């Protein structure tokens, strides 16, 4: 009887349903989330992976912006959103690097990344920290990690104007073939920022655009 009781309770738990918000159409990064962009779907209440962290219908009016692109039918989770009132408008910038210099391609939308520039003298400096990733280039078996290719890969990040200038300057040095210079994109999701901005440099490292506090991304430096 006891076993039967547990079995019945388990079936009752499994039959319980709840409603969650999903995107009714693709929502691009940076777009405001409103009721028109969402619809309710029913899922099993026991599916904690789907239920936990999902934006509640009553919170829609709080003013939310998509931090990353949200696909149609995808649950809208708080980790993918920022408060509209706190998030300044940001631009988008593509950083093209060989995939082996971007965590082997293990970077996804929503991640935070740091950008490091190295020099021929063995020194390196942070160009930017904590940039929000909006999109990444797809990796195919022909030209990506499995195929051993190193071209055609890029990461799109959210930037303010000063951060964009720092990145453009570093990318310009690399494209001009500065001896020994290269860019490295480091996946830093969950990692705190560092105040040690340079290593092995003969002169003080220029202050980088530090922007780790998502959603509010601020630039520091000159």
| Cα(139)–Cα(36) distance, integer angstroms | 33
Q: Say yes or no: 111 and 50 in one domain.
A: no
**Whole-number pLDDT of residue 128:** 93
pLDDT for 13-41, tens place per residue? 556 888 888 899 888 887 888 888 899 98
Tell me which H or E stretch contains 125. strand 124-136
pTM, two decimal places = 0.55
% the chain with pLDDT above 90: 18
> For the chain, how many structural domains are there in total?
2
| Cα(32)–Cα(197) distance, integer angstroms | 35
Residue carrying the six token digits 């200038």: 165
Q: How many residues does the chain have?
A: 222
Mean pLDDT, the chain, rounded, equals 74
Of 42-51, 53-62, 81-90, 107-116, highest mean pLDDT: 107-116
Residue 159: strand, helix, or coil? strand
Torsion, Cα 164 182 188 59, to 10 degrees, reads 30
In a domain, 21, yes or no: yes
Q: Say yes or no: 36 and 70 in one domain.
A: yes
In a domain, 50, yes or no: yes
Residue 116: strand, helix, or coil? strand
Tell which of 83, 111, 137 closes a domain. 83
Residue 99 or residue 12, greater confidence: 99
**Domain limits for position 64:** 2-83
In a domain, 217, yes or no: no
Where residue 137 falls among pLDDT bands split at 50, 70, 90?
confident
Residue carrying the six token digits 């969650």: 20
Q: Say yes or no: 202 and 148 in one domain.
A: yes
Q: Which of 30-39, 158-167, 170-179 has the lowest mean pLDDT?
A: 170-179
In a domain, 216, yes or no: no
CATH number of the domain where residue 35 is located? 3.90.1210.10
Q: Say yes or no: 26 and 51 in one domain.
A: yes
Half-sphere exposure of 93 (CA within 13 A, CB side): 20
**Whole-number pLDDT of residue 116:** 92
Which among 99, 34, 109 has a CA at the least distance from the CA of 71? Answer: 109
């Amino acid at each position: 009887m006891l076993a039967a009781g547990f079995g019945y309770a388990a079936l009752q738990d499994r039959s319980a349903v709840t409603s969650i918000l999903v995107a009714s159409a693709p929502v691009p990064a940076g777009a405001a989330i409103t009721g028109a962009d969402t619809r309710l779907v029913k899922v099993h209440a026991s599916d904690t992976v789907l239920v936990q962290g999902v934006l509640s219908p009553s919170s829609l009016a709080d003013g939310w912006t998509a931090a990353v692109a949200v696909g149609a039918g995808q649950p809208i989770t708080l980790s993918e959103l920022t408060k509209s009132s706190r998030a300044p408008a940001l631009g988008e910038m593509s950083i093209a690097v060989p995939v082996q210099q971007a965590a082997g391609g293990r970077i996804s939308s929503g991640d935070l990344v740091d950008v490091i520039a190295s020099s021929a003298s063995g020194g390196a400096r942070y160009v930017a920290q904590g940039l929000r990733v909006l999109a990444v280039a797809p990796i195919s078996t022909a030209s990506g990690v499995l195929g051993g290719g190193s071209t055609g890969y890029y990461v799109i990040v959210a930037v303010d104007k000063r951060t964009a200038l720092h990145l453009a300057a570093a990318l310009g040095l690399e494209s001009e073939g500065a001896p020994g210079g290269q860019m490295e994109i480091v996946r830093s999701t969950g990692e705190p920022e560092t105040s040690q901005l340079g290593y092995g440099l003969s002169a003080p490292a220029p202050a980088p655009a530090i922007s780790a506090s998502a959603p509010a991304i601020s630039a520091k430096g000159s």
